[in-house]
């Protein structure tokens, strides 16, 4: 007896994912219109950093991390352009569609096929949300904020020691002591439950997209 299922095309299997909205995304050939914002918010809120490990009752979601990186950028640059703010919110958005945040040491083992998959998803997200192409200086500032967030999460969430953050994780950047986010009903640095993280991330997405649309609709100033 064959073990194959009649529902599986063994000659051409595709990585299809059924999203909460009922939409289906083909991860290997993603259509930028194949998900809705709520799908992405839920995916990011249920995808966890640090391999899902945490010193708190909840793991830290990629949604909360993305909000932290944005808040760190805004601390240094209060007038952050709407396009840059959206880039920060969406800089790890492919992980929300995959449902997987690959820890850095594992990426080398997964190799180029996984990297290509992530690149396709990243391109689809950039097209869907009309993200700007970051100039070198803008991307440098993004990486600084992302690294500061990682160092801070390592200390306050994953509970690495400061020495191990430097020697084991090879992060030389000093962690923040104060949480950059308005934590609402939660303690500073406490990972949020998924439904709360999704709500906060979606609110930020709508806010900064509205800012960008308002900026684009403004009449040009005569020279």
Number of domains in the chain: 1
Q: What gap in Å lies between CA 147 and CA 126, rounded to an integer?
A: 22
Q: What gap in Å lies between CA 180 and CA 2, rounded to an integer?
A: 56
Q: Tens digits of per-residue pLDDT, 72-105?
A: 999 977 678 999 999 999 999 999 999 988 877 7
Q: Tens digits of per-residue pLDDT, 173-218?
A: 999 999 999 999 999 999 999 999 999 999 999 999 999 988 777 7
- Beta-carbon contacts of 27 under 8 Å, excluding residues fewer than 6 positions away, are 15, 16, 17, 97, 98, 117, 120, 121
Is residue 217 a part of any domain in this protein?
no
Is residue 168 a part of any domain in this protein?
yes
At 13 the pLDDT is: 67
Is residue 20 a part of any domain in this protein?
yes
| Its pTM surpasses 0.85 | yes
Is residue 192 a part of any domain in this protein?
yes
Is residue 216 a part of any domain in this protein?
no
Strand partners, 48: 61
Domain of 90: which CATH number?
1.10.3210.10
Domain enclosing residue 27, as ranges: 16-207
Is residue 47 a part of any domain in this protein?
yes
Is residue 106 a part of any domain in this protein?
yes
Q: Tens digits of per-residue pLDDT, 121-160?
A: 999 999 999 999 999 999 999 999 999 999 999 999 999 9
Beta strands in the chain (DSSP E): 16-18, 24-26
Tell me, rounded to whole angstroms, the distance of Cα 70 from its chain centroid: 11
At 22 the pLDDT is: 96
Q: What gap in Å lies between CA 83 and CA 89, rounded to an integer?
A: 10
Is residue 220 a part of any domain in this protein?
no
């Amino acid at each position: 007896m064959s073990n194959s299922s009649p529902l599986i095309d063994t000659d051409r299997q595709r990585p299809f994912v059924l999203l909460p909205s009922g939409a289906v995304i083909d991860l290997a050939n993603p259509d930028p219109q194949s998900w809705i914002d709520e799908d992405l918010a839920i995916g990011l809120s249920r995808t966890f950093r640090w391999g899902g490990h945490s010193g708190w009752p909840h793991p830290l979601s990629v949604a909360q991390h993305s909000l932290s990186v944005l808040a760190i950028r805004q601390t240094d640059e209060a007038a952050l352009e709407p396009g840059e703010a959206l880039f920060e919110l969406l800089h790890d958005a492919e992980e929300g569609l995959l449902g997987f945040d690959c820890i850095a040491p594992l990426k080398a083992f997964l190799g180029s096929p996984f990297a290509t998959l992530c690149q396709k998803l990243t391109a689809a997200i950039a097209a869907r949300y009309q993200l700007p192409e970051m100039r070198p200086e803008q991307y440098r500032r993004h990486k600084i904020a992302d690294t500061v967030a990682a160092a801070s999460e390592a200390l306050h969430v994953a509970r690495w020691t400061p020495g191990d953050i430097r020697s084991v994780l090879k992060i030389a950047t000093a962690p923040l002591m104060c949480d950059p986010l308005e934590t609402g009903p939660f303690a500073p640095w406490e990972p949020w439950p998924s439904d709360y993280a999704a709500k906060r991330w979606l609110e930020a997405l709508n806010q900064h997209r509205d800012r960008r649309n308002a900026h684009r609709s403004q009449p040009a100033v005569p020279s």
